[in-house]
Amino acid sequence: MANIVVMGGGLGGLPMAYEMQDLARDGDTVTLVSDRDYYHFVPSNPWVAVDWRKRDEITVPLSRPLNKRGIQLKVGKVVKVEAAANQLLLEHGDVVSYDQLVIATGPRLAFEEIPGLGPDGFTQSICHIDHAEVARDKWLEFTANPAPIVVGAVQGASCFGPAYEFAFIMDKDLRKRKIRDRVPMTFVTSEPYIGHLGLDGVGDSKTMLESELRQRHIDWICNAKVEKVENGVMHVLECDEHGQEKQRHQLPFGYSMMLPAFTGIDAVREVDGLVNPRGFILIDNHQRNPAHPNIWSVGVAVAIAPKKPTPVPTGVPKTGFMIESMVTATAHNIRAVLDGEAPAKEATWAAVCLADMGDTGIAFVAIPQIPPRNVNWMKSGKWVHLAKIGFEKYFLHKIETGVSEPVYEKIMMKTLGINKLKD
């Protein structure tokens, strides 16, 4: 019998453990290894940062659903993957052995690549709930003394949606407080154009997002490299379409949130053949590492090359439904291997996204996420804001009950022509 270990308890890891438990054989053991004992719903972090949500509203203790499903939980930070010995080395000397390993850790946040960036510097982050709570405290201080805001994503970032969301959410909160007129806002991004999103756009995302920024009087700088951040000043190099210097900006701010670049986690860096130069897991079409056939990966930890280069480096985002499709393919492929068969399932990497804008929102469907696509659709409206709230409650309910994909969800998505596995 096999010990299947899932490394990471977030958006990819927890559903991975649930689906693997559904497909495991009698006698197989599924173990989740997480550096924290709770799950938090990352898409709600922008709301936490403006005090629209509290921690206990978007977190779930891991032990509760995992015990219910018969999945073992090991809480501890993995400091090294020993692929030759099929073991994980944890801090404080603990060791976890595996027959099949799924790496679903998410990224390491590379704040140190830009001087002054991040919660230990002069900008805020919404990448983790701990960061979002610090950002909230700074936000409440800021609203008592309004000043300019700089928000966006730095060079090498691969997750742009939350930056747009947070810009719009801050705008809405400032309007509610009736101080928006005292707060100039600038959106700074490494994207070659507004709405690129690391995906070369989705539908008419360029026109739609530019329009939304204009309506809210938010200026923007694209093809931007953040050179350094000082207390109250961000130094930005704006590049032309060839990546050459176009203009330098010194942007004053009283509050700033900038999404960092991601890398892979330190624990996988020394494993020969496992990662690319940035530390992301190399996989084949079945989510399996070619050099280590019993190691698989899903989610933000996966290496995906950009479709085409941009003047300033941008990464490819790994969005929620895309990650869920990776999870489903991986679970089926591990079961096939356990049964002595070759893995055959491929994830569609379809993207279904709801982006909140405070009182309205934008939704898009991209199948597959990376162009060229079979479906390329984007719409906006107040209904998206309400749908995002509903999805938050629904997803947390799934986590609580230990179910990755209820039957009715599968039927509904199939009816809409949105599938997790390729035919």
Which residues are catalytically annotated? 159, 353
Write down how long the chain is: 423
Q: How far apart are CA 122 and CA 176, in angstroms?
A: 26
| Residue recorded with tokens 């895309």 | 322
In whole angstroms, what is the distance from residue 69 CA to residue 64 CA?
9
Specify whether the CB–CB gap between 98 and 4 falls below 8 A.
yes
Residue 242: phi, psi to the nearest 5?
Answer: -100, 5
Give the Cα separation of 234 and 230 in Å (integer): 6
CA-to-CA distance for 199 and 304, rounded, in angstroms? 12
Give the C-alpha separation, 56 to 423, whole Å.
40
- Spatial distance between the Cα atoms of 69 and 357, rounded to a whole number of angstroms: 36
Question: Which residues make Cβ contacts (< 8 Å) with residue 224, sequence separation at least 6?
Answer: 152, 155, 188, 189, 190, 236, 237, 238, 239, 312
Peptide bond into 372 cis (omega under 30): yes
Q: 3-state secondary structure string, 280-298? A: CECCCCCCECCCCCCEEEC
- 174: Cα separation from own chain's centroid: 26
- Kind and range of the H or E run holding 207: helix 205-215
* Count of Cβ atoms closer than 10 Å to residue 277 Cβ: 9
Nearest-5° angle of CA 267, CA 271, CA 276?
90
Identity at 380, one-letter amino acid code? S
Name the token pair of 328. Answer: 């489903």
Residue 356 phi/psi, 5-degree rounding, is -80, 145
Residue 209 makes CB contacts below 8 A (sequence gap 6+) with 164, 194, 195, 362
| Residue 303 and residue 273 in contact, taking contact as beta carbons nearer than 8 Å | no
